[in-house]
């Protein structure tokens, strides 16, 4: 699988790069970011974190706004930042920002209008996963996943679907129970159809109850001034974890909102969480 | 002088805010950012840094991309980020990005087309300076200035014009000799007229020779893969400092370019430089 280098920036002792490739799973060109710490540039095998971004974001959002590179270089983490959906003029879209391009929800759509391109689960878990192992010094035994908001849903749901691929997981303000919040209901209805039983296979709270404990700990940070709090249902995540004995470090933070000023404040803790889990 | 709060985000133990105010000096509404560390929120007097951004940037660029808040909170720095020019439908502009709105060059324009609004020197040094002392826990005896590219020119030139207001200075990839580079020649011609002698009063290399040593050290970082290197003339800055015995720590960095992935890599060193100078 070939990839085309679009941008390359020295950043600390490593490099922040962006690539484009012809993605088979989603039948369109896709871009992704990769931060390579000094250790990876020297060819040493590195623990690797996928970061899944939220609604309206792109492969560049985390690299610009989350301030993770300093510690990632220090700790020797490769950071992979996919885009949030398939994109392009011939890719189905919606006039609203919470559906279609920029809002792929990291699942495989089954409905006719969406199923051709919106196969984001296959894209992340199979195609991009294999591609970064092929092209970079990724240690395939030390891969974790994290995400924010819609991407927090993506990180949690993919981790519990594929614990053999993602050995650690964390999230910022994740959509923990998409089946019962307005963003999730809208997206799932369009991508998966009207039968709500089909939705549960992509709902983290439901998946955890069904699949059981898989991680020695999960880290989730949640701001208490989050303007989208009613979409997120952290209590459902807590209940699901309690039900199956899955350890969850769920931290609530006074005054913090939903944005990247919140994420930058706690990103170092997430890198340390993954380092511990991936030891 | 009243200010209107536009955005307020918890960020580490401090707050990243953005304000709007009716600016007399530039006769238009202006926005600026301020990062208040925990210490400032508790009302303790804080060392304060102005950061002047480069062409096309706004008051938000540094706050989003430079990753300074973590250490600023730890060290107790207030960070002030002005916009890069006057703005608005009735403010003179140019079709190109290197003149007019987003390209104010931090000087007072004298030419009829520009002089009504483009009084950025007065705006920064008098109006905004007084305003932040009035509204925030700024220690007026510990104010420094830094900047990037056009804002590096701004920081260096304003520091050598007003060393009683700015007690420390540093820059990333500054336009050190605007009188002899294409960006500077174009802007100075429009803002200051055809007489090049009028330009020297706003040219850092010239100002340093004229005004002499004012700081115990200056820190300047410069990437060696900077795509705008020919605009910057770091050698003129070095020559001017050598000529008057002004200490200059000018560091060249292999592989780094002109952007914020470069700035985030060295911003911590700049905060430490200012802390030392402002002791």
pLDDT digits (tens, 9 = 90+) for A156-182: 999 999 999 999 999 999 999 999 999
Closest CA to B12 of B63, B84, B88, B82: B63
Domain presence at residue A276: no
Q: Average pLDDT in the A114-120 region? A: 98
Exactly one of B25, B85, B149, B179 is catalytic; name it.
B149
pLDDT given at position B110: 98
Q: What is the pLDDT of residues A182-202, one digit of tens each?
A: 999 999 999 999 999 999 999
Residues of chain A contacting B, Cβ within 8 Å: 9-12, 16, 64-65, 67, 69-70, 223, 225, 253-257, 259-262, 264-265, 268
Instruction: Give the nearest partner residue to B261 out of A16, A261, A268, using CB atoms.
Output: A16
| Residue from A16, A67, A225 to probe the interface with B (highest B Cβ count within 10 Å) | A67
Domain presence at residue B276: no
Domain presence at residue B135: yes
| Strand partners of residue A147 | A52, A171
- The CATH number assigned to the domain holding A216 equals 3.40.50.1820
How many domains is chain B built from? 1
Q: What is the pLDDT of residues A82-114, one digit of tens each?
A: 999 999 999 999 999 999 999 999 999 999 999
Quote the DSSP letter at residue A112: T
Asked if A257 lies within 8 A of B70 by C-beta distance, the reply is: no
Domain presence at residue A278: no
Q: What percent of chain A lies above the pLDDT cut of 90? A: 99
The answer, yes or no, to whether residue A62 has pLDDT greater than 90, is yes
Write the burial class of residue B134 (CB in 10 Å: 0-12 exposed, 13-18 middle, 19+ buried).
Answer: exposed
Domain of residue B162 covers 4-271
Q: B9 to chain A: which residues are within 8 Å by CB?
A: 256-257, 259, 261-262
**Neighbour count for residue B116 (Cβ, 10 Å):** 15
Residues of chain B with pLDDT under 50: none
The answer, yes or no, to whether residue A18 has pLDDT greater than 90, is yes
What value does the mean pLDDT of chain A take?
98
| Chain-centre distance for alpha carbon B115 | 20
The answer, yes or no, to whether residue A123 has pLDDT greater than 90, is yes
Domain presence at residue B277: no
Asked if A67 lies within 8 A of B255 by C-beta distance, the reply is: no
Residue A233: pLDDT band (50, 70, 90) is: very high
pLDDT given at position A1: 80
Q: Give the list of residues 6+ apart from residue B81 with CB closer than 8 angstroms, or none.
A: B32, B33, B34, B35, B50, B51, B53, B59, B60, B61, B62, B63
Domain presence at residue B231: yes
In this structure, are residues A48 and A143 in contact, taking their beta carbons and an 8 Å threshold? yes
CA-to-CA distance for B22 and B18, rounded, in angstroms?
A: 14
The answer, yes or no, to whether residue A117 has pLDDT greater than 90, is yes
In this structure, are residues B48 and B78 in contact, taking their beta carbons and an 8 Å threshold? yes
pLDDT given at position A35: 98
Asked if B10 lies within 8 A of A223 by C-beta distance, the reply is: yes
Q: What percent of chain A lies above the pLDDT cut of 70? A: 100
Q: What is the pLDDT of residues A151-162, one digit of tens each?
A: 999 999 999 999
Closest approach of A251 to chain B, Cα-based (Å): 15
CA-to-CA distance for A215 and B51, rounded, in angstroms?
A: 44
Asked if A67 lies within 8 A of B64 by C-beta distance, the reply is: no
For B165-203, letters b (16+ CB in 10 Å) and e give bbbbbbbbbbbbbbbbbebbebbbebbbeeeeeebeebb
pLDDT given at position B1: 81
Asked if A10 lies within 8 A of B67 by C-beta distance, the reply is: no
Asked if A69 lies within 8 A of B257 by C-beta distance, the reply is: no
Domain presence at residue B55: yes
pLDDT given at position A97: 96
Domain presence at residue A199: yes
Instruction: List the catalytic residues of A.
Output: 149, 226, 258
Residue A72: pLDDT band (50, 70, 90) is: very high
pLDDT given at position A135: 98
């Amino acid at each position: 699988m070939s990839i085309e280098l679009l941008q390359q920036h020295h950043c600390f002792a490593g490099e922040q790069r962006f690539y484009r490739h012809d993605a088979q799973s989603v039948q369109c060109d896709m871009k992704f970011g990769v931060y390579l710490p000094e250790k990876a540039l020297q060819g040493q095998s590195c623990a690797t974190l996928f970061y899944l971004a939220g609604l309206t974001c792109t492969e560049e959002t985390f690299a610009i706004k989350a301030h993770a590179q300093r510690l990632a270089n220090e700790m020797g983490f490769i950071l992979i930042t996919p885009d949030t959906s398939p994109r392009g003029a011939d890719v189905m879209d919606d006039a609203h920002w919470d559906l279609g391009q920029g809002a792929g929800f990291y699942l495989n759509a089954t409905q006719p209008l969406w199923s051709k391109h919106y196969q984001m689960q296959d894209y992340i878990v199979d195609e991009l996963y294999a591609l970064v192992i092929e092209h970079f010094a990724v240690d395939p035994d030390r891969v974790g996943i994290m995400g924010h908001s819609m991407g927090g849903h993506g990180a949690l749901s993919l981790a519990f679907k594929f614990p053999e691929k993602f050995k650690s997981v964390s999230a910022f303000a994740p959509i923990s129970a998409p089946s019962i919040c307005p963003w999730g209901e809208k997206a799932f209805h369009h991508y998966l159809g009207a039968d709500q039983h089909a939705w549960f296979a992509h709902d983290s709270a439901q998946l955890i109850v069904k699949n059981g404990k898989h991680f020695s700990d999960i880290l989730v940070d949640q701001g208490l001034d989050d303007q989208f709090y009613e979409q997120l249902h952290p209590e459902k995540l807590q209940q699901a974890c309690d039900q199956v004995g899955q350890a969850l470090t769920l931290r609530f933070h006074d005054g913090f909102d939903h944005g990247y000023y919140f994420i930058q404040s706690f990103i170092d803790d997430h890198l340390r969480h993954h380092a511990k889990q991936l030891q």
